[in-house]
Structure 1
Amino acid sequence: MSDEEDTGLGSAGPMMVEVKTRGERPHSHRSRHDESEHYSDDFSEDDHLSDDNDHGHEEEVMTQRSTRRRHSASPAGRKNGQRRIDMTPPDQLLKSTERKAAKYRDNGKSDKSIHELIRCLALSRIVYGSQHWKLAQSHANLAQAYFEQKGYAAQADYHADIGKNIMLNQVTMTTTENEKAEVYSVMFNLYHTQCRALTALKKYPEAEQLLDKCRRTEREFNKFSCVRQRDCDDMKVKTCQASASYKEGNPELVDTALAVAQAYANTGDEDAEGSAETYLNECLSGCLSVHGPHHKKTLEVQDELCRLYIRTDRHNEALPLLRQSITDKCEVYGDYSEQVSDTYKLIASVHLSQGNIEKSLRAYNKCYNIECHVLGKNHKKSKDTERTIDLLMASPGLSNKFVLNKGDKLKQRPKFNAIVNRSQAVGGFKSQN
């Protein structure tokens, strides 16, 4: 099956057959989540990795290791003239090796981590066979490590391509929805890693094709009810970052950086706001260099950045940017435009959050006048703004102190009464006589 035929199941997905079994599933087909719960995280002789600063313990371990090597090399270290053989089952060795690779990676020891991932590749082939999706997962992990930890794009492309061919050219046997979701996750990681590797190798047409497959696989992954929303958001962020590697000054870089920022902002995570701000600033810089200040895309990015400032309670940074964008929007969209009214509404909300009710009322009034002119008084946005103004004007002492316009001043005048008080009329007549 070629790459162009890999969309046979939904989109860009491997061909999967659901297997219904009775009783307990075979050990070799259990998901990684089940395996991680069944086995503990103890590391035998590699526990000392977290104690690198303990020199005494390190010397003791090195002494023990040298002693073991001497025993294994000498006839006394042998039993009946043969070396001692490690009889640990390969599936348990695979789990232990995966944990070692992760621990080396977390400690910044890239070479050792990749060495363990290569061992995982061999053990996966022994445990699952040469055509199982778990073997493709090992290729995906190794490819990702080569690219992210060492920057080896060619090696990453090589292993991702092998894993992709395993997934696409074989019928993948699945038993549960969780396993199906994991298969799509592996497929996405293979596409994503190879896309980044090809982009680094400046093979842009091939990378663009893989990026489309990443998006299709992401959509299929989102359909599973067993996946977490955070996993879906992370996959979306990765999709945007695969597409972010364009030359500086390319207009596509602006759209990509904006999409990445919005994806981070949609996660609802406070830590993601920092990443969103980074991409928005990068996007704004690209807009200014590519389009200039008086462009719709530049103004769109400025609005996104202002909303981020408001969400993070950085109103003093939002206000100058909002005031600056008023002039630019008047030039691009016109003085009476919905974009200008929306900006006045944002300014009013910032003033209101700071307790500056009079400044907020002035901004809301400008917003309302433009909305009535552009949308009409009966439009939902105009009515909402009018209700907000009425609520603010109902504040004690504010109605007498603050008058928005001549129309409001006329409303505050007492109503004219054509009926003259009788007693006043009689008294007036008598006084004249």
Structure 2
Amino acid sequence: MQPIYIPTGSSHAANAGSQCSTARPPSVLPIPTELDMSISSRSGESDTGMKEISHYSDPDSPPAEKLANATIMAERFMKENKCHKASRELIQCVALSRIVYGDGHWRIAQAHANLGYSYLTLRALPAQARAHAESAKNILLRGVDMAKSVEEKREIMASLVTIYYTLGMAHLMQNNGKDSYLSLQKVEKIIDELEDIQERKAITLKISEKDIALALGQACLLQTKPSSAINYFEQAVNSIISSQGDSASELISLYQDMARAEHMRKKSNRAIEHLLQAHSISQANYTSVSTEAAQSGLQLAKAYAASEYHEAAQRFFTESLGAYQTAAGPDDPRTLNACVEFSKWLIQIGKKQEAYKLLRGAVRTETEFSEELAEILSIMGSICLADGKIQKGYKLLKKCSDIQVAVYGSQHSKTKGTQNLLTTLKRSGVVGD
């Protein structure tokens, strides 16, 4: 019977040839790949399971039995959040699927899709996730005989959703908004097609429609399409509220994304409204003295500052810094960063001395070298120079330069900028030996 290509978008037929011509054919796919073995061996776990087809089954059992066992173990490890062990079993599933079903079978595509998805969701490795999703897509694009049972057809469609979602999220993690959006649109189209033929409820998907809407919104943000992003984010918000209520912690980052979109649209007050919602939920879930509440409060402070609501900005900067100091400690990079943001705003509104006092209080003898400490010293030095305290400013900038060399290296633009300023001050004669 002639293979039938699965219709998942108008671009598939056009892309099929080009995709297949550049991809390696299934017959030369490593079992498992060297990259997968390297990642597994670096996980800190025993790699003895990589030397066998599956170390949880009888070595003499048939490949089909080993495949079934590896699938069960992978699902168990995923539920237990044992990321490396789950990935190891999924790698075995790819190898065993090829042995059991032969080259080019849709089950191999399914195994690659599951492995790619695990790299994405369990280990945040977009390059590996994308590689396996591409392998799965290429197998299916070569043509799949659709004269199968209804259940198999459903599994194939579910795998396509996993493949394109994985590709979309991998591109998103690599800041490639356009390709991310194209892949995620294909996911949306497949879901719509399943709804049209009344098959959606019959298919079990790894990805919820809320996840798809959220990903599409983020892809739109990367492409600077805030209005489209807002529409997708509102879909995700409605889905979360309907299933978890309006105080779900998942809403925090979502409202913050919506604020970013509104800021792009120059709607500052709408952005602040979303950030207020995020901060309120953060305080309700984590208490007002927590790093989560400190982070949402800092975003809110910056939004008020940008809109020139000085009183509100002062309040939330102060609250955020206090929460960080209590929850994370005075030397934590997040605390120091909050101090830097607060001081920049104080300088912007003409309160240089108040900013200097704030920064000086943040620097302690035991504070470790960090980007944040270097920036604090840089700002303090600049304030001193502006006030005519050249010698003091020079010393602060010299300390800043030493930290920048340690943190960034001598060739970094920030290090060079500070060193150039020091050289200029030295040559001007205003700084003593």
Query: What band does the TM-score fall into relative to the shorter chain?
Result: 0.3 to 0.5
Which structure has the greater CA radius of gyration? 1
